[in-house]
Amino acid sequence: MPKYTETLAALAAMALSAPLLAQTVTPEFARNYVVRDIGPPPGVLTNLGGLTIRDDQPNVLYIGGAANGLTAKIFTVPVTRDSAGHIVGFGCGTAVEFCAANGVSGGLDGGLEFGPGDVLFYTTFSDNLIGQVRPGEFSPARLINLSSLGVASSTGTLRFVPAGFAGAGRLKIASYNASLWYDTTVVPQRDGTYTLAPLSPGIQLLGGPEGIAYIKAGSPNFTQDSVLLCEYSSGSVVAYAIDGNGDPIPGTRRVVISGLVGAEGATFDPISGDFLFSTFGGGNRVIALSGFDALACSADLDGSGAIDAADLAVLLGDWGDSGGGLSTDLNSDCTVDAADLAILLGTWGPCS
């Protein structure tokens, strides 16, 4: 079924249901993981597309709006956190348009990530393209036609394999319509953009993949390095163990969350370790899955690898500042105050 038809059906179903989603963590994972509805990001055009968070800007969410169309855009949205560092809402201002994310006859879909050279990469639907926005620019500098490279139309998503995983730095692309997963690398060009090396034959998956996020072994229920996929067609988030090239092993698929409408972009929060994903339709919300090992220390303000007296001194030096955007504003509520102090003291000691 074409994606736009599925979306209409999903929206019709929503009109007859409660305003919140009926997502369910499956029994295998329910003991260790909790799903939370963060809600719709204010000021972002619907429907939502891919999303990502930069490690160096952990309190800013990059997220696509007006997805799949020529007016698609990428927005930045400030996030707010609780005392444990989990994103619990949006605040400290509204969404700001970051750049256009159009294609030729479509626009941003489920893939969105900063890649090498700080270039922002995104996938488009239904014209099967990868767009690239160079630093400081507001529209794509290059559009790569994936059909000409053998990618089944139309692509849903992309992800660079993070450091520390097999295949680190390689680019993974997944076709939404064909549920095929491809592997390639990027080749730098003189203009600061990238072309693609020849792609591998596609690995057959299921469910219409839209968002990709890698997870290290060690979190509950994960004994191997794995990848989480948002499956738009099946309304699920699933997990696959990965092989020595960073690719999913088809026979290892496990459903983590079911009952979703329009599961779309995916990323991990570098502070809490929560898995975040958006929904195209389905209330156009951001949803979090908590229970993974934290990936970083938000309160390591001096980059020493530990939360200690030096970080406390940095925070107290900004005490009462209400300008917003400060690294000491740990919960991103535009004020450095007792709430930020509680986060710092709650994570005191070496970063894990």
Give one DSSP letter per residue of 103-164, joined into a string: -SS-EEEEEEEE-GGGPEEEEEETT-EEEEE-TT-SS-SEEEESGGGTPPS-EEEEEEPPTT
- Strands annotated E in 216-262: 226-231, 236-241, 254-258
Peptide bond preceding 236: is omega within 30 degrees of 0, i.e. cis? no
* Amino acid at position 166, single letter: A
pLDDT at 1: 37
Task: Enumerate domains of the chain plus CATH numbers.
Answer: 3-290 (2.120.10), 306-350 (no CATH)
Over residues 143-147, the mean pLDDT reads: 98
What are the C-alpha distances in Å from 46 to residues 67, 124, 233, 281? Answer: 7, 15, 19, 8
pLDDT tens track for 273-329: 999 999 999 999 999 999 998 755 777 888 787 889 999 999 999 999 876 567 788
pLDDT at 19 over 60: no
* Residue among 23, 53, 50, 5 nearest 162 (CA): 53
Comparing 48-52, 104-108, 124-128, 323-327, which segment has the lowest mean pLDDT? 323-327
Residue 65: strand pairing partners:
73
Comparing 14-28, 192-206, 253-267, which segment has the lowest mean pLDDT? 14-28
Residue 190: burial class (beta carbons within 10 Å; 0-12, 13-18, 19+): exposed
Cα distance between residue 183 and residue 215, in whole Å: 18
* Amino acid at position 193, single letter: T
pLDDT at 50 over 70: yes
pLDDT at 253: 98
